Amino acid sequence: MTFKNLFSSCVLLSLIILIPVANAETVKKSKSGICHESTSPHYERTKNFTSFDSLSSCIGAGGRLPKGSSSTSVSKQKSSSYSRKMFGHGWADSNKDCQNSRMETLITYSLSPVRFKTEKKCMVVSGKWISPFSGETIYAASEIDIDHVVPLKWAWIHGANYWTKAKRVKFANDPANLLSVEARLNRQKVAKGLNAWLPPANQCQYISRFIRVYKTYNLELSNKEQVSYDKIRQQYCS
């Protein structure tokens, strides 16, 4: 290769490196702070930008959606990136007494002294619980799920994805957000918010607790959700 050809190749390579690369997955954050996906009409016209690999990460870095855009795609990306491990690996034992958050919740809500599996008193096997979801009495711990009043996935979509790992672990094990309920109804609820699922009994108490928890942690509702939640609260707690 001649010196001239080598020089030309180096110049071309330098130009390639300096050109902002934006493939179909790249989200562009403009100098004015607007996040543009590849489907945005302003995507190709945005030449000076910071690249992000998702719309949610762009917004998390202080960006905002174009005027008139829907946040649906943001919610979808948040939902797809959620996993339980983001809130810790299972139930935490913060005070290291061998009773994790599940066991402590079972002990707290049992109406009679609980029975443990061994003398170490780490695992609860029986007690007497009245489910706030149905009013039914349950005696076997194996038939109980510990419900997150505000579900972890719901919280992730509504702002917990921006929290520190420590705050998410605290949230997942916060007694204010935990209830002892029958497994059947907890698994029916899954990660639904107030506008998608309510328990068969004690709806007002459940609604009030849900709202108190999400406000305590500064989780955010969309305008549409806020209107819906206000109507639900008025309907069941008037």
Written as tens digits, the pLDDT of the chain (238 aa) is: 554 554 444 434 443 333 333 344 588 888 888 888 776 778 888 888 888 776 666 766 666 777 655 455 555 566 668 999 999 999 999 999 999 999 999 999 999 999 999 999 999 999 999 999 999 999 999 999 999 999 999 999 999 999 999 999 999 999 999 999 999 999 999 999 999 999 999 999 999 999 999 999 999 999 999 999 999 999 999 8
pTM to 2 decimal places: 0.70
SS (H, E, C) the chain: CCHHHHHHHHHHHHHHHHCCCCCCCCEEEECCCEEECCCCCCCCCCCCEEEECCHHHHHHCCCECCCCCCCHHHHHHHHHHCCHHHHCCCCCCCCCCCCCHHHHHHHHHCCCCCEECCCCCCCEEEEEEECCCCCCEEEEHHHEEEEECCCHHHHHHCCHHHCCHHHHHHHHCCHHHEEEEEHHHHHHHCCCCCCCCCCCCCHHHHHHHHHHHHHHCCCCCCHHHHHHHHHHHHHHHC
